[in-house]
Each structure stands twice: as structure tokens, then as C-alpha cells.
Structure 1
Amino acid sequence: MTEGFMGPPWQDDWTTAAEADREALPDHARDLVLTARAELVTAPDPYFRGIDTDRDLPSGMSVEPVQSTRPGGLHVCYFDHGRGWLRYEFTRRETDPQIVIDQCFWQ
């Protein structure tokens, strides 16, 4: 049944607001965002489910669900030791699975 299922790298799509926020960041912060995005699109499971599944992320990055009661819903990928984050949702489907990033923030 999963024979046709696509794996990483996943497609990613940015909402207009998230893309505008990313483009407004200074260059070094934009590089951090692109590093975080690269980790998400290449992860076997972009929700990093399970114990210590995000231990292989670079230093200063972590992932957690927005609501602990919805482990398959919105997630936040923190980067730069919590100074920034990407809020996203992963849509798993056989054709064209993708990560939709709806918020990009860095301070």
C-alpha cells in the first residue's frame, strides 16, 4: 500500500505571509531559516515523533507539536537556540506529500 509513497526530500510550501517574513530577515537569519528548512525536508518523519528523534538535529534546533494533544497537527521547529521558529504542518499523502510553513519568525 505504501509502495507508491514518496519519501524525503519532501516538498515545502510557504504561505505568502511566512515567505514575506523570511525575505524581510537579515541575511544571516535567512541562512538559519534555510538550514532549519533543510532539516525538515530531509527528515524521514518531519514531525520527529518518538523519544529523542530530534537528537540528530544541529545544535540549537528542536521540534515539538504546538498542542501535545494533537501530535499530527501543527509543529514548531525552533532554531538559533529558540530565537527563531518555523511553524508548519506536514501533509502525508501518496502523491505530493508536503510541508506547509505558515509562520517564520526570528528575533
Structure 2
Amino acid sequence: MTDDLPHPPWQMDWTAEARQDFDAMPADGRELVLAARAELITAPDPYYRGIDADACLPHWITVRPLASTKPGGPHIVDLAGGRGWLIYTFIRRHAVPQITVIEAFWT
């Protein structure tokens, strides 16, 4: 029996504004964003649903819903204790599931 459902690594795309913000970040910010990207695209569920589901993440990354009332909506990845973040959505399409970064920020 084969499993026809998509599996990681997931595709990731950026809005034009998020990509510009990423490109403008200092090198240390870009490195952390790329490390967070690697965690997201390889996660079985990029929304890390459930209690302590993100316990396997490095200590400098936390993932949570942007609005607690919409657990299936946009999520935020807090980086380095709030020095930066990514806001993204995950669309679990059958053919090509995709993560879309809609905002990138670094202080």
C-alpha cells in the first residue's frame, strides 16, 4: 500500500515584501531565518499543533498561531527571543502543499 499524501520537505515561497525584508536583514538575522526555514520545511506539520509539539525545535525558535482563535490560520515563528520573526501560512493542498512567508522582521 502506498501513501499518496504529500510529505516534507514542503515548498516555501515568500511574498515580494517579505523577500525584500529578508534580503535587507543583517547576516546574523538571515542565518537564523534560514535555519528556521529548514525546520519548517522538514516538519511533519509546519503548524506544530498540539501540546509541546514544537519541543523538538531549537531553543531560539517558537511557533504559535498569530491569533489564538484561528489555530489553522497564519502562524508566527519567534526568533532569538523576539529579535525577529516570520509570519507564514501553510496550505495543505493535495498536489503541492506550500508554506508562504508573508512577513519577515529582524531588529
TM-score (norm 1): 0.95
Correspondence for 1:71: 71
Correspondence for 1:22: 22
Correspondence for 1:37: 37
Q: Give distance in 2, aligned partners of 1:39 and 1:87.
A: 14
Q: Give distance in 2, aligned partners of 1:99 and 1:51.
A: 22
Long gaps (5+) in structure 1 = none
Correspondence for 2:89: 89
Q: Give distance in 2, aligned partners of 1:79 and 1:89.
A: 17
Alignment partner of 2:81: what SS? coil
Alignment partner of 1:41: what SS? helix
Long gaps (5+) in structure 2 = none
Aligned residue pairs total 106
> Hey, which bits of structure 1, 4+ residues long, moved more than 4 A?
none
What is the RMSD computed on CA atoms of the aligned residues?
1.1
Per-residue displacement from partner, 1:50-104 (whole Å, max 9, x unpaired)? 0000111001110000111111000001111221110000000110100000000
Correspondence for 2:4: 4
Letter in 1 for 2:16: T
- Contact 1:86 / 1:101 at 8 angstroms: preserved in 2? yes
Alignment partner of 1:103: what SS? strand
